[in-house]
Amino acid sequence: MPKEQLEIERKFQVTESFVLPDLESLPGVAAVEGPEERSLEAVYHDTADLRLLRTPATLRRRTGGPDAGWHVKLPVGDSVRRELHFPLGRAGRTPPRAVLEPVRGLVRTAAVGPVATLRTARRATLLRGAEGRVLAEIADDSVTGTVFAAEPGEPTAVVSWRELEVELAEGDERFLAAVADRLLAAGAQPSDSASKLGRVLADRLATLDGAAPTGGVPAESRDERRKKKGKKARKRAGARAGEVVLAAVAAQIEALQTADVLVRTDQSDGVHDLRVACRRLRSILAAYRPVLDRQVTDRLRGELQELGVRLSGARDGQVALARLGALVEAQPSELVLGPVAARLQQAAQADALAGRKAAERALGDARYFALLDDLHALVQHPPFAAAAESPAEEVLADALRRARKRLRRRIRRARQGPSAEHLHEVRKAAKRARYTAEVAAGVMAGPAQELADCGERIQEALGERQDTVVIRERCRTLGLAAFAAGENAWTYGRLHGLEEARAAETEAAFWRLEPGLAGALRRAVGKA
């Protein structure tokens, strides 16, 4: 397993004449240590079309300094990245399989190879607090970046500059802000680039995207420009339906890939987030069939549904066993007969292992990578249908009306003949209405937001009831296994009964809520 840390840093541009200001007078600083000189060399790997840089993620092999090895950096938020460290090993030109695995969903089926080398002369200064704790490290870097030729005979490109990185260690965000303020007051400027590699490859990225070279100034990626274009389109009165829907699809593909990384690095919410992204994509493609050719999108919807099914067992089991564990803990000890907690713990461990294996199989086969390639191809070369050029508001309003009609029809059916199946259909229709409305919210906020809110409330009300279906079945199978092992199975029956009562309570709560939701749906229909 790789070593992992959270990297929180800020980057600054400085001139050659810049001098570090006094830092010992900063609140909390007991000593300033250094500078220590380090010579670093890092070879960065990416695809020919720079798929990692566009995410943005980085994969590099660094030599020199205290953290030599293979590094994978994954975005978390502004100025925050997860950093995975692997040993150097023998591989030099090709990333080892374990190093490449966290980003396989980002590079997909493309080959990965060296794209640039960064040589850095670093002067590292440590800011220490009480008891010698390192609060932060300031790296004063003189960098020379060399871009490898993309084609035979193409010249290499070299860029040089100086910058500062302030990386938080045991200090807090307030301390990091204080250091930043001191550097800015001394003449430093916030960096235009989120990474050294982004600065080195700015011209190549611009060339790939058909833009003019920027002379080393970081260029926006195609996805970033598309997002901005999509946001502007949603706000413009004359936005076209194709622009709005395509921006929504692109955002969900990004969410899917973010979740892919979480699954591959064994983060707790990865499978859940991946399934949600699949559902949202399916809903958008279904609701906006007049905009995107369904001969293309129907097949993608089928593949997304299959992926969600393959991942469902891991998530459903996790939810069920967590609920049962909490229930058992809340029971009086005299009502817990036999090794119930131990059996639940064993089941949770077995489920977690089975879930990881299922996720690895689902995200590791050729079918999944083909789906990712097809989704990206849809965004890059949109199969627009006739309604794509229509005014967005017209097409979105029509989609909202259809989603509302579908949801109201499912509610009426459930009222006429209440059943678990009918209520589950209501919940699915509510999710689809919600996702449809969220796409439209930027253009027609009033009715779209009202429908999205209704859908979310129904989804939450009936989601708890649906959870009890899975949990009750788990109670039954656990009870049978316990009985077969000669244990007392009475407690599993009690847990089943508690969940049955919860199902009835949540169903009753939904029907109490439903008249108000029905009124909101009728009002929203009139507005659209």
Among 300, 426, 480, 430, CA closest to 374: 300
3-class secondary-structure state, position 102: helix
Q: How far is CA 397 from the centre of its chain?
A: 29
3-class secondary-structure state, position 179: helix
**CA–CA separation, 414 and 408 (whole Å):** 10
* Tens digit of each residue's pLDDT (9 = 90 or more) over 196-241: 999 999 989 988 887 555 555 444 443 444 444 444 434 445 789 9
**CA–CA separation, 161 and 195 (whole Å):** 13
Residue 487 CB-density burial (10 A; 0-12 exposed, 13-18 middle, 19+ buried): middle
In sequence order, what E strands does 28-179 have?
31-46, 58-63, 69-77, 80-86, 113-128, 134-147, 157-168
Q: How far is CA 359 from CA 107, 211, 317, in A?
A: 18, 39, 13
* Tens digit of each residue's pLDDT (9 = 90 or more) over 52-86: 999 889 999 999 988 899 999 998 877 788 999 99
- Kindly tell me if the per-residue pLDDT of 333 is higher than 90: yes
* Tens digit of each residue's pLDDT (9 = 90 or more) over 366-398: 999 999 999 999 999 999 999 999 999 999 999
The CA angle 472-476-482, to the nearest 5 degrees, is 135
Tell me which H or E stretch contains 9. Answer: strand 3-13
3-class secondary-structure state, position 80: strand
pTM: predicted TM-score of the whole model, two decimal places: 0.85
- Kindly tell me if the per-residue pLDDT of 344 is higher than 90: yes
Farthest-apart Cα atoms in the chain, separation: 80
Phi, psi of 28 (to 5 degrees): 95, -15
Let me know: does 435 contact 279? Beta carbons within 8 Å.
yes
For the beta carbon of residue 223, count every other beta carbon within 10 angstroms: 18
Q: What is the DSSP letter of 79?
A: T
The pLDDT value recorded for residue 514 is 82
Domains along the sequence of the chain with CATH: 3-208 (2.40.320.10), 228-527 (1.40.20.10)
The pLDDT value recorded for residue 269 is 84
**CA–CA separation, 451 and 458 (whole Å):** 11
Bond before 35 cis per omega within 30 degrees: yes
Q: How far is CA 273 from CA 68, 73, 254, 257, in A?
A: 33, 20, 11, 10
Task: Tell me what the pLDDT averaged over the chain comes to.
Answer: 88
Angle between the N-to-C axes of helices 241-264 and 420-440, in degrees from 0 to 180, rounded to the nearest 10: 120
